[in-house]
Amino acid sequence: MKETVLDCDFLILNRLPGLYSAERFQSEITRLNRKAQLVTPEWLIENASQFESRGLGLGVLYRQGDFNFWPTQMALMKLPFNIINTPSAFLNARDKWLTTQAWQKQNIPVPRTRVLTDFISNTTILNSAEIFLALQETFGLPFMIKKRFSSQGHGVFLINDEYSLMTLLMQDTHLFMNTGTLEQKYFKAELQAATTPPSNLWMQLRRWVAQECIQESLGTDTRVFAIQDKHFSITRHNSNSFRSNMHQGGKPQSTELTPVETQFCQMIHAQSGLNYSGIDFLRTESGPRFLEINPSPGFEGIEIIYKENIAEKIINEINRSI
Q: How far is CA 210 from CA 62, 72, 191, in A?
A: 29, 27, 19
Whole-model pTM: value is 0.91
Whether the CB-CB separation of 34 and 10 falls below 8 Å is answered with yes
- The enclosing H or E element of 29 equals helix 20-31
Q: Which CATH class is domain 93-97+215-321?
A: alpha beta
pLDDT tens figures, 17-43? 789 999 999 999 999 999 999 999 999
In this predicted model, what pLDDT tens digit does every residue of 155-178 receive, in sequence order?
999 999 999 999 999 998 888 877
pLDDT confidence of residue 247? 59
> Which pLDDT belongs to residue 53?
42
Give the pLDDT band (50/70/90) at residue 87: very high
- Position 76 confidence tier, pLDDT thresholds 50, 70, 90: very high
Q: By the 8 A CB rule, do 114 and 120 touch?
A: no
Report the alpha-carbon distance of residue 171 to residue 166 in Å, rounded: 9
Nearest 5°: phi and psi at 315? -60, -40
CATH topology identical between 93-97+215-321 and 112-212: no
Read off the pLDDT of each residue in 219-241 and give the average, rounded to a whole number.
89
Spatial distance between the Cα atoms of 222 and 297, rounded to a whole number of angstroms? 13
Q: d(Cα 162, Cα 159) in Å, to the nearest integer?
A: 8
Question: What DSSP state is assigned to residue 278?
Answer: E
Residue 223: how many other CB atoms lie within 10 Å = 24
**Count of H-run helices and E-run strands, the chain:** 13, 13
The edge-to-edge listing of strands for the beta sheet with 82-84 is: 36-39, 10-13, 59-62, 82-84
> pLDDT value at position 123?
78
- Distance between CA atoms of residues 271 and 99, nearest Å: 10
**CA gyration radius for the chain?**
20
Give CA–CA dist 144/157, Å, rounded.
6
Coil, helix or strand for 259? Answer: helix
Please, where are the H alpha helices in 125-234? Answer: 128-139, 162-176, 181-186, 188-193, 200-206
Report pLDDT for 55. Answer: 46
State how far the Cα of 113 lies from the Cα of 148, in Å rounded to an integer.
11
Whole-number percent of the chain with pLDDT over 90 = 63
Judge if the upstream peptide bond of residue 142 is cis by omega within 30 degrees of 0: yes
- Residue 56's pLDDT is what? 54
Helix (H) / strand (E) containing 310: helix 310-321
Q: What is the architecture, at CATH level 2, of domain 112-212?
A: 2-Layer Sandwich (3.30)
3-state secondary structure of 256: coil
pLDDT, position 75: 92
CA distances 130 to 122, 133, 166, Å, are: 10, 5, 11
Q: How far apart are CA 242 and CA 222, in angstroms?
A: 14
* CATH ID of 10-84, from 3.40.50.20, 1.25.40.10, 3.40.50.300, 1.10.260.40: 3.40.50.20
- Say yes or no to pLDDT of 1 above 70: no
State which H helix or E strand residue 293 sits in: strand 287-294
Domain ranges in the chain are 10-84, 93-97+215-321, 112-212
Read off the pLDDT of residues 111-159 as tens digits, 9 standing for 90 and up. Answer: 999 999 999 888 788 899 999 999 999 999 999 999 999 888 789 999 9
How far does the chain reach from its first CA to its final CA, in angstroms?
28
DSSP 54: T
Tell me which amino acid residue 227 is: I
Residue 137 gets the label, from left (phi > 0), alpha (psi -120 to 50) or beta, of alpha
Buried b or exposed e, range 73-88, using 16+ CB within 10 angstroms: bbbbebbebbbbbbbe
Q: How far apart are CA 164 and CA 157, in angstroms?
A: 9
